Amino acid sequence: NEGIGAGITKEYCHDDQDRSSLSINCLNGKIQIVTYRAVWWDYTEFSRKELSAGQTWTMEIPRQDRRYDQTNRVQVTGLEASSFNMSFRSWDD
């Protein structure tokens, strides 16, 4: 049960990994989730989603380069005072 205020952004990052999985459940309020991946320093937005109370989003962040590791980042922004549960896992293949 992670709490977040309106207009606040929290960031979660896994360095030097490859693929990831993300599951996030909005318990109350409303949140926006943005995922990014980067090889070296070039972050690219991968996906974006808004969730309201009771909604869940599950997705995969695939590997984008076979030669180099990537960094996977998730940003959660409170669109209202909210709380959420999140599972964010990454693997180095």
Q: For residue range 7-54, what is the model confidence (pLDDT) as tens digits?
A: 999 999 999 888 999 999 999 999 999 999 998 888 999 999 999 999
- The confidence score (pLDDT) of residue 69 equals 86
pTM of the model: 0.92
Does 93 score more than 90 pLDDT? no
Mean pLDDT of 72-82: 97
| Cα–Cα dist 59/22, whole Å | 5
Does 67 score more than 90 pLDDT? no
- The confidence score (pLDDT) of residue 12 equals 96
